[in-house]
Protein backbone atom coordinates (compact mmCIF):
# COMPACT_ATOMS: atom_id res chain seq x y z
CA UNK A 1 0.00 0.00 0.00
CA UNK A 2 2.83 2.38 0.89
CA UNK A 3 4.57 1.57 -2.38
CA UNK A 4 1.36 2.22 -4.29
CA UNK A 5 0.90 5.58 -2.52
CA UNK A 6 4.50 6.53 -3.31
CA UNK A 7 4.02 5.59 -6.96
CA UNK A 8 0.82 7.62 -7.11
CA UNK A 9 2.66 10.58 -5.60
CA UNK A 10 5.53 10.20 -8.06
CA UNK A 11 3.03 10.12 -10.93
CA UNK A 12 1.39 13.32 -9.65
CA UNK A 13 4.77 15.03 -9.44
CA UNK A 14 5.65 13.92 -12.97
CA UNK A 15 2.30 15.15 -14.28
CA UNK A 16 2.63 18.46 -12.48
CA UNK A 17 6.11 19.17 -13.82
CA UNK A 18 5.41 18.22 -17.45
CA UNK A 19 6.10 21.28 -19.57
CA UNK A 20 3.80 22.25 -22.39
CA UNK A 21 4.94 23.26 -25.85
CA UNK A 22 2.93 25.52 -28.15
CA UNK A 23 3.29 24.77 -31.86
CA UNK A 24 2.06 27.43 -34.27
CA UNK A 25 1.71 28.10 -37.97
CA UNK A 26 -0.34 31.07 -39.14
CA UNK A 27 -3.81 30.86 -37.57
CA UNK A 28 -3.14 27.37 -36.11
CA UNK A 29 -1.91 26.92 -32.55
CA UNK A 30 -1.50 23.54 -30.82
CA UNK A 31 -0.59 22.90 -27.17
CA UNK A 32 1.02 19.55 -26.34
CA UNK A 33 3.14 18.29 -23.42
CA UNK A 34 6.90 18.12 -24.01
CA UNK A 35 7.02 14.68 -22.44
CA UNK A 36 4.67 11.91 -21.34
CA UNK A 37 5.24 8.66 -19.43
CA UNK A 38 4.65 5.24 -21.02
CA UNK A 39 0.97 4.39 -20.60
CA UNK A 40 -0.04 7.97 -19.78
CA UNK A 41 -2.83 10.08 -21.24
CA UNK A 42 -2.32 13.64 -22.39
CA UNK A 43 -4.50 16.43 -23.71
CA UNK A 44 -3.94 18.27 -26.99
CA UNK A 45 -5.56 21.71 -27.31
CA UNK A 46 -6.04 23.19 -30.76
CA UNK A 47 -6.95 26.78 -31.54
CA UNK A 48 -7.62 28.42 -34.90
CA UNK A 49 -8.38 32.03 -35.71
CA UNK A 50 -10.26 31.13 -38.89
CA UNK A 51 -12.70 28.47 -39.97
CA UNK A 52 -11.39 25.30 -41.58
CA UNK A 53 -13.02 22.28 -43.16
CA UNK A 54 -11.23 19.61 -41.18
CA UNK A 55 -8.56 19.33 -38.50
CA UNK A 56 -6.60 16.08 -38.58
CA UNK A 57 -4.20 14.75 -35.95
CA UNK A 58 -1.73 11.94 -36.55
CA UNK A 59 -0.09 10.11 -33.66
CA UNK A 60 1.68 6.72 -33.45
CA UNK A 61 0.56 5.58 -36.88
CA UNK A 62 -3.13 6.46 -36.48
CA UNK A 63 -5.15 9.56 -37.31
CA UNK A 64 -8.37 11.17 -36.18
CA UNK A 65 -10.44 14.20 -37.06
CA UNK A 66 -10.98 16.76 -34.32
CA UNK A 67 -14.33 18.43 -33.64
CA UNK A 68 -13.82 22.22 -33.62
CA UNK A 69 -16.24 24.56 -31.82
CA UNK A 70 -16.61 28.32 -32.30
CA UNK A 71 -15.81 30.22 -29.13
CA UNK A 72 -15.72 34.00 -29.40
CA UNK A 73 -13.59 34.82 -32.45
CA UNK A 74 -11.70 31.55 -32.40
CA UNK A 75 -12.33 27.87 -33.11
CA UNK A 76 -11.26 25.46 -30.39
CA UNK A 77 -10.85 21.72 -30.26
CA UNK A 78 -9.34 19.24 -27.84
CA UNK A 79 -8.46 15.60 -27.94
CA UNK A 80 -7.08 12.97 -25.61
CA UNK A 81 -4.09 10.97 -26.75
CA UNK A 82 -1.77 8.56 -25.02
CA UNK A 83 1.56 6.82 -25.27
CA UNK A 84 0.42 3.25 -24.83
CA UNK A 85 2.01 0.42 -22.89
CA UNK A 86 5.05 -0.79 -24.79
CA UNK A 87 5.79 2.55 -26.51
CA UNK A 88 9.50 3.05 -27.13
CA UNK A 89 11.09 5.50 -24.71
CA UNK A 90 12.00 8.00 -27.42
CA UNK A 91 10.55 11.16 -28.99
CA UNK A 92 7.33 10.46 -30.94
CA UNK A 93 5.96 12.69 -33.68
CA UNK A 94 2.61 14.46 -33.55
CA UNK A 95 1.21 16.05 -36.70
CA UNK A 96 -1.72 18.48 -36.75
CA UNK A 97 -3.20 19.66 -40.04
CA UNK A 98 -5.89 22.31 -40.61
CA UNK A 99 -7.43 21.93 -44.06
CA UNK A 100 -9.18 24.72 -45.94
CA UNK A 101 -10.56 24.64 -49.51
CA UNK A 102 -7.37 25.94 -51.11
CA UNK A 103 -4.65 25.76 -48.50
CA UNK A 104 -3.56 24.04 -45.34
CA UNK A 105 -1.62 24.77 -42.19
CA UNK A 106 0.43 22.07 -40.55
CA UNK A 107 2.48 21.76 -37.36
CA UNK A 108 4.81 18.95 -36.44
CA UNK A 109 5.97 18.35 -32.87
CA UNK A 110 7.96 15.84 -30.86
CA UNK A 111 6.75 14.44 -27.55
CA UNK A 112 9.31 12.53 -25.48
CA UNK A 113 7.99 9.23 -24.08
CA UNK A 114 9.62 8.39 -20.75
CA UNK A 115 9.92 5.20 -18.69
CA UNK A 116 7.48 4.51 -15.85
CA UNK A 117 8.31 2.14 -12.96
CA UNK A 118 5.46 -0.39 -13.20
CA UNK A 119 4.97 -2.86 -10.35
CA UNK A 120 5.77 -6.55 -10.84
CA UNK A 121 3.92 -9.67 -9.70
CA UNK A 122 5.18 -13.26 -9.72
CA UNK A 123 2.61 -16.05 -9.79
CA UNK A 124 2.75 -19.83 -9.89
CA UNK A 125 -0.18 -21.72 -11.39
CA UNK A 126 -0.64 -25.30 -12.64
CA UNK A 127 0.50 -25.36 -16.32
CA UNK A 128 -2.97 -26.55 -17.42
CA UNK A 129 -4.39 -23.23 -16.19
CA UNK A 130 -1.74 -21.21 -18.00
CA UNK A 131 -1.74 -22.78 -21.46
CA UNK A 132 -5.08 -22.77 -23.31
CA UNK A 133 -6.08 -25.81 -25.40
CA UNK A 134 -5.81 -25.84 -29.20
CA UNK A 135 -9.55 -25.10 -29.62
CA UNK A 136 -9.35 -22.29 -27.13
CA UNK A 137 -6.30 -20.83 -28.88
CA UNK A 138 -8.33 -20.70 -32.11
CA UNK A 139 -11.19 -19.03 -30.26
CA UNK A 140 -8.84 -16.50 -28.62
CA UNK A 141 -7.36 -15.60 -32.04
CA UNK A 142 -10.82 -15.20 -33.59
CA UNK A 143 -12.00 -12.98 -30.74
CA UNK A 144 -8.83 -10.87 -30.85
CA UNK A 145 -9.38 -10.24 -34.57
CA UNK A 146 -13.01 -9.27 -33.95
CA UNK A 147 -12.01 -6.79 -31.20
CA UNK A 148 -9.12 -5.36 -33.26
CA UNK A 149 -11.44 -4.76 -36.23
CA UNK A 150 -13.84 -2.79 -34.00
CA UNK A 151 -11.08 -0.77 -32.29
CA UNK A 152 -9.47 0.10 -35.65
CA UNK A 153 -12.45 2.36 -36.43
CA UNK A 154 -13.05 5.56 -34.49
CA UNK A 155 -16.07 7.87 -34.70
CA UNK A 156 -14.70 11.23 -35.83
CA UNK A 157 -17.40 12.92 -33.76
CA UNK A 158 -16.35 13.70 -30.20
CA UNK A 159 -18.86 12.24 -27.73
CA UNK A 160 -16.78 12.48 -24.55
CA UNK A 161 -16.54 15.52 -22.30
CA UNK A 162 -14.82 16.15 -19.01
CA UNK A 163 -15.26 14.91 -16.36
CA UNK A 164 -14.91 11.11 -16.75
CA UNK A 165 -16.89 8.95 -14.32
CA UNK A 166 -15.32 6.06 -12.40
CA UNK A 167 -17.45 3.07 -13.55
CA UNK A 168 -17.54 1.48 -10.07
CA UNK A 169 -16.47 3.10 -6.78
CA UNK A 170 -14.17 0.24 -5.67
CA UNK A 171 -10.43 0.50 -5.00
CA UNK A 172 -7.81 -0.47 -7.56
CA UNK A 173 -6.88 -4.08 -6.76
CA UNK A 174 -4.52 -4.55 -9.72
CA UNK A 175 -2.76 -1.53 -11.19
CA UNK A 176 -2.27 -0.57 -14.81
CA UNK A 177 1.00 -1.80 -16.31
CA UNK A 178 1.53 -4.52 -13.69
CA UNK A 179 4.24 -6.84 -15.08
CA UNK A 180 2.98 -10.38 -14.53
CA UNK A 181 5.46 -13.21 -14.40
CA UNK A 182 3.64 -16.53 -14.56
CA UNK A 183 5.65 -19.64 -13.67
CA UNK A 184 8.80 -17.64 -14.41
CA UNK A 185 7.55 -16.52 -17.87
CA UNK A 186 6.80 -12.83 -18.46
CA UNK A 187 3.21 -12.36 -19.68
CA UNK A 188 1.73 -9.29 -21.32
CA UNK A 189 1.49 -6.48 -18.76
CA UNK A 190 -1.88 -5.47 -17.31
CA UNK A 191 -3.46 -3.25 -19.97
CA UNK A 192 -6.20 -1.85 -17.71
CA UNK A 193 -7.09 -1.50 -14.04
CA UNK A 194 -8.97 -3.94 -11.83
CA UNK A 195 -11.50 -2.21 -9.61
CA UNK A 196 -12.96 -3.94 -6.57
CA UNK A 197 -16.65 -4.78 -7.06
CA UNK A 198 -19.20 -7.22 -5.65
CA UNK A 199 -21.17 -9.65 -7.81
CA UNK A 200 -24.00 -7.73 -9.58
CA UNK A 201 -22.78 -4.24 -8.62
CA UNK A 202 -23.87 -1.73 -11.28
CA UNK A 203 -21.19 -0.80 -13.82
CA UNK A 204 -21.62 2.66 -15.35
CA UNK A 205 -20.44 4.21 -18.60
CA UNK A 206 -17.39 6.40 -17.97
CA UNK A 207 -18.57 8.93 -20.52
CA UNK A 208 -20.98 9.59 -23.33
CA UNK A 209 -20.54 7.29 -26.31
CA UNK A 210 -21.79 4.58 -28.62
CA UNK A 211 -21.81 0.86 -27.82
CA UNK A 212 -19.28 -0.53 -30.32
CA UNK A 213 -19.25 -4.21 -29.32
CA UNK A 214 -20.58 -6.63 -26.71
CA UNK A 215 -19.84 -10.33 -26.32
CA UNK A 216 -18.73 -13.20 -24.13
CA UNK A 217 -15.00 -13.70 -24.67
CA UNK A 218 -12.57 -16.41 -23.52
CA UNK A 219 -10.30 -14.19 -21.40
CA UNK A 220 -12.47 -11.15 -20.75
CA UNK A 221 -15.84 -12.84 -20.23
CA UNK A 222 -18.96 -10.76 -20.80
CA UNK A 223 -17.63 -7.48 -22.17
CA UNK A 224 -18.79 -4.06 -23.32
CA UNK A 225 -16.74 -1.76 -25.58
CA UNK A 226 -17.78 1.92 -25.77
CA UNK A 227 -16.64 4.30 -28.52
CA UNK A 228 -16.40 7.85 -27.14
CA UNK A 229 -15.28 9.34 -30.46
CA UNK A 230 -11.94 10.67 -31.72
CA UNK A 231 -10.36 7.28 -31.03
CA UNK A 232 -11.24 7.01 -27.32
CA UNK A 233 -12.60 3.60 -26.25
CA UNK A 234 -13.45 2.24 -22.80
CA UNK A 235 -13.83 -1.46 -21.98
CA UNK A 236 -15.73 -3.23 -19.19
CA UNK A 237 -14.80 -6.91 -18.65
CA UNK A 238 -15.87 -9.97 -16.58
CA UNK A 239 -19.49 -8.72 -16.29
CA UNK A 240 -22.22 -11.04 -15.00
CA UNK A 241 -24.80 -9.28 -17.18
CA UNK A 242 -24.74 -6.94 -20.19
CA UNK A 243 -27.40 -4.20 -20.32
CA UNK A 244 -26.60 -2.49 -23.63
CA UNK A 245 -26.67 -3.44 -27.31
CA UNK A 246 -24.26 -2.51 -30.13
CA UNK A 247 -25.15 0.76 -31.86
CA UNK A 248 -26.93 2.13 -28.78
CA UNK A 249 -26.00 5.64 -27.64
CA UNK A 250 -25.25 5.98 -23.92
CA UNK A 251 -24.82 8.98 -21.66
CA UNK A 252 -22.17 9.22 -18.93
CA UNK A 253 -23.40 7.10 -15.99
CA UNK A 254 -25.63 4.83 -18.11
CA UNK A 255 -25.83 1.25 -16.76
CA UNK A 256 -23.74 -0.90 -19.12
CA UNK A 257 -24.04 -4.09 -17.06
CA UNK A 258 -23.44 -5.78 -13.73
CA UNK A 259 -20.06 -6.70 -12.26
CA UNK A 260 -19.13 -10.37 -12.21
CA UNK A 261 -16.38 -12.91 -12.70
CA UNK A 262 -16.96 -14.28 -16.22
CA UNK A 263 -14.01 -15.28 -18.44
CA UNK A 264 -10.51 -15.79 -16.98
CA UNK A 265 -11.15 -14.24 -13.57
CA UNK A 266 -10.46 -15.30 -9.98
CA UNK A 267 -13.39 -13.47 -8.38
CA UNK A 268 -15.86 -10.62 -8.90
CA UNK A 269 -14.22 -7.37 -9.99
CA UNK A 270 -14.36 -4.93 -12.89
CA UNK A 271 -11.48 -4.87 -15.32
CA UNK A 272 -11.69 -1.38 -16.82
CA UNK A 273 -9.57 -0.59 -19.84
CA UNK A 274 -9.03 2.41 -22.07
CA UNK A 275 -7.54 2.66 -25.53
CA UNK A 276 -6.90 5.85 -27.44
CA UNK A 277 -6.14 5.40 -31.15
CA UNK A 278 -5.15 1.83 -30.31
CA UNK A 279 -2.84 2.79 -27.43
CA UNK A 280 -3.52 1.13 -24.05
CA UNK A 281 -3.44 3.88 -21.44
CA UNK A 282 -3.92 4.19 -17.68
CA UNK A 283 -7.41 5.64 -17.05
CA UNK A 284 -6.81 6.40 -13.34
CA UNK A 285 -5.64 10.05 -13.81
CA UNK A 286 -9.08 10.77 -15.32
CA UNK A 287 -10.67 9.90 -11.96
CA UNK A 288 -8.11 11.62 -9.71
CA UNK A 289 -9.65 14.55 -7.82
CA UNK A 290 -7.55 17.67 -8.28
CA UNK A 291 -5.51 16.02 -11.07
CA UNK A 292 -4.79 17.32 -14.56
CA UNK A 293 -8.08 15.90 -15.92
CA UNK A 294 -10.36 16.91 -13.04
CA UNK A 295 -12.07 19.62 -15.02
CA UNK A 296 -15.35 20.54 -16.61
CA UNK A 297 -15.99 20.72 -20.32
CA UNK A 298 -15.13 24.09 -21.81
CA UNK A 299 -18.23 25.93 -22.98
CA UNK A 300 -19.49 25.77 -26.50
CA UNK A 301 -20.17 22.09 -27.09
Report the residue number, 78 or 194, with the smaller CB distance to Zn ion. Answer: 194
Sequence-distant contacts of 85-90: CB under 8 A, at least 24 apart: 85/38, 85/39, 85/176, 85/177, 85/189, 85/191, 85/279, 85/280, 85/281, 86/38, 86/189, 86/280, 87/38, 87/39, 87/60, 87/113, 87/279, 88/113, 89/38, 89/113, 89/114, 89/115
Is there a contact between 53 and 100 (Cβ–Cβ < 8 Å)? yes
Residues between 270 and 299 that touch Zn ion (CB under 5 A): 271
Is there a contact between 163 and 294 (Cβ–Cβ < 8 Å)? yes
Least separation in angstroms between residue 174's CB and Zn ion is 5
Least separation in angstroms between residue 190's CB and Zn ion is 6
Least separation in angstroms between residue 140's CB and Zn ion is 16
What does the per-residue mask of binding to Zn ion show for 121-160, with x meaning CB under 5 A? ----------------------------------------
Size of the site for Zn ion (CB under 5 A): 2
**Burial environment of residue 179 by CB neighbours within 10 A (0 to 12, 13 to 18, 19 or more):** middle
Report the residue number, 105 or 194, with the smaller CB distance to Zn ion. Answer: 194
Nearest Cα to 237, choosing from 215, 212, 211?
Answer: 215
Report the residue number, 171 or 251, with the smaller CB distance to Zn ion. Answer: 171
Report the residue number, 210 or 271, with the smaller CB distance to Zn ion. Answer: 271
Report the residue number, 194 or 227, with the smaller CB distance to Zn ion. Answer: 194
Least separation in angstroms between residue 47's CB and Zn ion is 38
Residue number with the shortest CB distance to Zn ion?
271
- Counting contacts by CB under 5 A, is residue 210 touching Zn ion? no
Residues between 165 and 204 that touch Zn ion (CB under 5 A): 194
Half-sphere exposure of 34 toward its Cβ, with a 13 Å CA cutoff? 8
Least separation in angstroms between residue 225's CB and Zn ion is 15
Query: Alpha-carbon distance 98 to 48, whole Å?
Result: 9
3-state SS assignment for residue 41: strand
Report the residue number, 18 or 258, with the smaller CB distance to Zn ion. Answer: 258
Contact positions toward Zn ion, by CB under 5 A?
Answer: 194, 271
Amino acid sequence: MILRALLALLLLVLTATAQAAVLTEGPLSVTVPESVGEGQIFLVEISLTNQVETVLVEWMGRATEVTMTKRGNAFKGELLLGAGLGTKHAPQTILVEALRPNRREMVLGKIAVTAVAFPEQRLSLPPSMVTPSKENLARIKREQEQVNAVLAVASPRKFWNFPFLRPVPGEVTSAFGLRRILNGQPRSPHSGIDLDAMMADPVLAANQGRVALTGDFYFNGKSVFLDHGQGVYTMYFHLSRIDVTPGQHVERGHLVGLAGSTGRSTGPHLHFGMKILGQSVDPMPLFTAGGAFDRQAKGGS
